[in-house]
Structure 1
Amino acid sequence: MGKKYKIFFSAGCSVFMLVFLILPGFSQESWLNSLKEADRYRLFSEKGFSFEYRLTDKGETSTMMVYLKNTDRSVVLCVYTAPPELVGRKIFMDGNSFWLLDKRMQDPIRISARQMLFGQASAGDITRILFSDSYKVLEGKKDGPVIILELAAQPGKEISYPRVRLELNDADSRPVKAELYAATGTLMRTIYYEKYKTINNKILLTQFRVVNELNKEESIIELDKFEEKTLENRYFSREGMKALK
């Protein structure tokens, strides 16, 4: 992939490794429930929905609209709306399949999870709205006011970061921090969940900061314009993304 196909898209999503501490009243089921509660801060609607994703990186900003399919929230189509040179570029994700369609291309090209790592924020993980869709809880620990979960990719899931260490506020399971690890164990990125807002009577994540641990560069991601409407199902396919204008 050349530079022009770098994808400034990120997620959400994280994996961690630490020692499991068994405390009275806590079980594997309770850790899983905490993870599902954490997911609700990204879940605007039980069905498909849409929102604007705005990334500021090195003083430059790019935006895209993110659409989740009504019948399957794990199927996602993203359309760039700025800057001008990226307008019209699309990213489609269906399970382990990722497709990129640039406005100068006749047909979309298949992108691997590894290629999705280009840019400060990875499209492969940002399009995965819910942790529990892609990860399982291996271990958990309560450390004062914080719950720490060690996550691992579910079998068969092609994910950019196979390990995540996720920190949640114990009082309400609100995500605080996530560390994303490569398969080698190297810490690649740290996500700091910084702002939440009440929208339609739901508390939603609206801003997070991504730190590239390899070069310490930072990106700010803002989520806005949440709507319950999304695209028609016919656009959520390799061929359908070509028809969307």
Structure 2
Amino acid sequence: MNFDLRFLGKISFLAIIGLIAISCLLPNLSLAMNPGDILIDIFNRQGLAGKGSFELNLRVVSIQGKENSTSMIKVFFGNGSKQLVTFVMPERLKDDCFLVNGYNTWMYQKGLRRPIRVSAQQKLFGNAGIAETAGINYLDDYDIIKTVETDGEYLMDLKARDQRTAYQLASLWINKDNLQITKIILKAVNGQALKNLHYSNYTLVDGHEVATIEIHNLLQQQDSKTIMEFTAIKSRDYAAEIFDPLMMGKIRL
């Protein structure tokens, strides 16, 4: 059987052109949405960071085995970079408060002469640390260093812009259909996973899209979890004094 070599050459040429075309399309498919735009959309629907001052009301339930305990928490949210966290219940924690002001975090308890500096990773209630409760700004405090797109989700790896940020690395799983976060793993600077946060039951609370967050501390007992729910979000104006560490414990809100 005789083959026309010119015909084979034409097929090879067309195959090469086809492969080049496919390779050019793949990056565009993997970047169907700009990763930065995805985070902007998420934070716009949440409507908190950079959107003004708010009072956030949270119900936080710590579950360990068959035992559980509940707290009610208020977060006084001042324009994104300042948060004062206080307890409504239980009674034993009502005099405790925590202040996040930029990269600095203070704790005040009844009996202390003055607030003390603490890490924003410090436990607040159950598995919930100060940073997760006050709110982590993944949009403004982190850079996206890698994004992988699958059939159903985006996986983003983030790195903190400042070494003073509580969690230096974070991995976010985002549902492609509704652009809602489903999971976040918070990590140390060496990549060690510290906290696993699961997001579910998204709802509108006073016009803000928020989720129920289930928090697992990956360095401690695996049979414990903490559930955090938003119960109310109110727009409020605050005097600058409430975010002054020297005024902690002196102002009643």
Residue pair 2:62, 2:126 contacting (<8 A) in 1 also: no
Query: Partner of 1:61: helix, strand, or coil?
Result: strand
Gaps of 5+ in 1: 1-21
Query: Partner of 1:24: helix, strand, or coil?
Result: helix
2:238 to 219, 226, 231: 231
Matches within 5 A, 1:150-229: 150-154=157-161, 156-202=162-208, 204-214=209-219, 215-216=221-222, 217-229=224-236
Q: Decide whether aligned partners of structure 1 residues 150 and 157 sit closer, same or farther in structure 2, where only a CA change above 3 A counts.
A: same
Q: CA deviation at 1:139?
A: 0.9
Residue pair 2:184, 2:198 contacting (<8 A) in 1 also: yes
Amino acid in structure 2 at the alignment position of 1:40: N
Q: CA deviation at 1:140?
A: 0.6
Q: Higher relative contact order by CA 8 Å / sep ≥ 6: 1 or 2?
A: 1
Structure with the greater alpha carbon radius of gyration: 2
Query: Partner of 1:158: helix, strand, or coil?
Result: coil
The answer to whether 1:61 aligns with 2:75 is no
Residue pair 1:51, 1:67 contacting (<8 A) in 2 also: yes
Amino acid in structure 2 at the alignment position of 1:212: N
Q: Report the equivalent of 2:137.
A: 130
Q: Decide whether aligned partners of structure 1 residues 78 and 24 sit closer, same or farther in structure 2, where only a CA change above 3 A counts.
A: same
| Distance in 2 of aligned mates of 1:64 and 1:86 | 10
Identity fraction in percent: 20
| Distance in 2 of aligned mates of 1:233 and 1:29 | 39
Which portions of structure 1, spanning 4 or more consecutive aligned residues, are displaced by more than 6 angstroms?
none
Q: Report the equivalent of 1:141.
A: 148
Q: CA deviation at 1:209?
A: 0.5
Query: Partner of 2:39: helix, strand, or coil?
Result: helix
Residue pair 1:235, 1:241 contacting (<8 A) in 2 also: yes
1:38 to 39, 42, 48: 42
Please list the CA deviations of residues 190-237 of structure 1 after superposition, one character each: whole Å capped at 9, or x if unmatched.
1110121123444x1141101222321211111111101143222111
| Distance in 2 of aligned mates of 1:35 and 1:240 | 35
Query: Partner of 1:32: helix, strand, or coil?
Result: helix
User: TM-score, normalized by length of structure 1?
Assistant: 0.80
Query: Partner of 1:131: helix, strand, or coil?
Result: coil
The answer to whether 1:50 aligns with 2:55 is yes
| Distance in 2 of aligned mates of 1:228 and 1:118 | 25
User: TM-score, normalized by length of structure 2?
Assistant: 0.78
Amino acid in structure 1 at the alignment position of 2:58: Y
Residue pair 2:174, 2:182 contacting (<8 A) in 1 also: yes
| Distance in 2 of aligned mates of 1:142 and 1:28 | 9
Q: Decide whether aligned partners of structure 1 residues 60 and 118 sit closer, same or farther in structure 2, where only a CA change above 3 A counts.
A: closer
| Distance in 1 of aligned mates of 2:75 and 2:42 | 20
Q: CA deviation at 1:55?
A: 1.5
Residue pair 1:50, 1:230 contacting (<8 A) in 2 also: no
Residue pair 1:35, 1:132 contacting (<8 A) in 2 also: yes
| Distance in 1 of aligned mates of 2:120 and 2:237 | 25
Matches within 5 A, 1:2-13: none
Q: CA deviation at 1:115?
A: 4.1
Q: CA deviation at 1:68?
A: 1.2
Structure with bigger helix share is: 2
| Distance in 1 of aligned mates of 2:212 and 2:246 | 32
Please list the CA deviations of residues 46-103 of structure 1 after superposition, one character each: whole Å capped at 9, or x if unmatched.
111111122111301122100111xx32111111111010002111011110000112
Q: CA deviation at 1:171?
A: 2.6
Gaps of 5+ in 2: 1-25
